[in-house]
Every structure is written in structure tokens, then in C-alpha cells.
């Protein structure tokens, strides 16, 4: 498998997943804003000019959640996914999709308004709204982790998706001091050697 990757992006999730599973993979790295991501060669691979993109033989996928589901279904051999008969399976699906549905939208606004836009075009009202919404989204994760080490029983793909999103939120300055379960969860996930290797991938 080959993963097109840029540090500090959603592609960290995919490198993390492959590291957790011990699956051999090749990484082609970019930097954010890299002109190569807009080259005809890469746009032929991913027309959006973004990462991640996974190539697995003739298969090519570019949505991180879809990649996680695909890799676990095709190569996971039952790992990192509760059995469909398990009471944890519905929770797994909920938290697998929560990252992109609920956490990353306000994160995206914060990134655009505080990092990507020039100062004269930034809108503090948008930032304040996004910060408030993000706090609510993380509060739901905090409640979901009550009495739990991970979101759906054992460590799973749901933790790779939503755990990564929680980590990104904290790195952007989200206050989790009133969310002890989330704070401990982020620390626990970031202590995993596979996640450390994913963050370090260049």
C-alpha cells in the first residue's frame, strides 16, 4: 500500500492505522501548500489535490474515514473493529464518523481563520463561534468516555478517527481542562508507539 501524506493533516490517521496493524506501506510525503499537490501528476491521483490518498493495487481512496473502513475490512483480519454482533459495534460506528461530522468542521474554521487567511481577512466572530461549538463537540466525547478507556470497548478504528480529531483540537488550543476524560484520552492515545511514529512520519 502507498499513502500520500503530509505531516499534521488527516493523513496522520492513515499512517497511524497502518502502523497499528503492522501493515507494510510506502509513504510519499508533501508539505502543506506544496506545489506538487497541484501538479497534473498528483491531480490525476487525487483531483482535490489533498491528502490522504491511499493506493492499494487498483484501489484508490482519498477520504480518511473511508480509508480506515476499507483497510480494516480488507486487511484488518478482525482487528480494531468490534464484531457486528457486539453491543459495542453501534458505538464504534457512531464514534468512527463523529470525527468528521462533528469535531472537524469547527476545527476547519479555526484553522482557516487563524492560520490560512491573511490577518486582514480573518473574522473573530467566526473563530468565537467555532471555539464554542468545538467545546460542545468535545464535551460529548468526554461524556462518551466516562468509565471507559476507549470509545467502543477495546482500542479501535473509532479511536483513530475521533482520537486524532481530539488531539488536533487540543493542539489548536481547545481547552480540555474541564474535560478530564478527553484530556486523559488524548494523553493515552499519544503515548501509543504507533501514533508517535505517525506524528513523526515525514
Q: What is the CATH number of the domain that holds 37?
A: 3.40.30.10
Whether 202 maps to a domain, the answer reads no
- Are 51 and 137 contained in the same domain? no
Q: Same domain for 157 and 175? A: yes
- Asked whether residue 103 is assigned to any structural domain, the reply reads yes
pLDDT exceeds 90 at position 109: yes
- The last residue of one of the domains, among 55, 79, 103, is 79
Last residue of a domain, one of 79, 112, 130: 79
Query: What confidence score (pLDDT) does residue 32 get?
Result: 84
Per-residue pLDDT tens digits for 136-145: 999 999 999 9
The pTM of this model reads 0.96
pLDDT in tens, 76-99: 999 999 999 999 999 999 999 999
Q: Residue 160's domain spans which residues?
A: 89-196
Mark which of 36, 59, 79 sits at the end of a domain.
Answer: 79
CATH number at residue 166: 1.20.1050.10
**Joined grid coordinates for residue 18:** 497502518
Asked if residue 108 is part of any domain, the answer here is yes
Give the bridge partners for 60, in sequence order: 55
d(CA 32, CA 5): 10
Cα separations in angstroms, 128 against 106, 123, 134, 172, 191: 10, 9, 10, 13, 31
- With beta carbons less than 8 A apart as the criterion, state whether 63 and 13 touch: no
Cell of 86: 457486539
- Statement to judge: residues 111 and 21 lie in one domain: no
**Given pLDDT bands bounded at 50, 70 and 90, which one contains residue 194?**
very high
> Distance between CA 19 and CA 123 in Å, rounded?
39
State the pLDDT at residue 202.
Answer: 83
Please state, in angstroms and as integers, the Cα–Cα distance from residue 19 to each residue in 15, 16, 24, 44, 92, following that order: 6, 5, 8, 27, 20
69 and 142: one domain?
no
DSSP assignment of 70-125, as one string? Answer: HHHHHHSTTTTS--TTSTTHHHHHHHHHHIIIIIHHHHHHHHIIIIIS-GGG--HH
Amino acid at each position: 500500500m502507498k499513502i500520500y501524506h503530509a505531516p499534521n493533516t488527516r493523513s496522520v490517521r492513515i499512517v497511524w492505522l497502518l502502523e497499528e496493524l503492522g501493515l507494510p506501506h510506502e509513504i510519499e510525503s508533501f508539505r502543506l501548500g506544496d506545489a506538487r499537490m497541484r501538479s497534473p501528476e498528483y491531480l490525476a491521483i487525487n483531483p482535490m489535490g489533498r491528502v490522504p490518498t491511499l493506493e492499494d493495487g487498483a484501489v484508490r481512496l482519498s477520504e480518511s474515514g473511508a480509508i480506515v473502513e476499507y483497510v480494516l475490512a480488507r486487511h484488518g483480519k478482525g482487528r480494531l473493529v468490534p464484531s457486528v454482533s457486539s453491543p459495542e459495534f453501534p458505538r464504534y460506528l457512531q464514534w468512527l464518523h463523529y470525527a468528521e461530522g462533528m469535531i472537524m468542521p469547527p476545527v476547519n474554521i479555526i484553522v482557516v481563520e487563524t492560520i490560512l487567511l491573511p490577518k486582514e481577512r480573518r473574522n473573530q466572530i467566526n473563530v468565537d463561534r467555532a471555539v464554542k461549538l468545538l467545546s460542545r463537540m468535545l464535551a460529548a466525547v468526554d461524556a462518551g468516555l466516562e468509565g471507559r478507556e476507549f470509545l467502543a470497548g477495546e482500542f479501535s478504528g473509532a479511536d483513530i478517527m475521533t482520537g486524532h480529531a481530539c488531539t488536533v483540537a487540543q493542539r489548536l488550543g481547545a481547552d480540555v481542562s474541564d474535560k478530564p476524560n478527553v484530556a486523559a484520552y488524548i494523553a493515552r492515545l499519544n503515548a501509543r508507539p504507533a501514533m508517535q511514529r505517525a506524528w513523526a512520519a515525514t
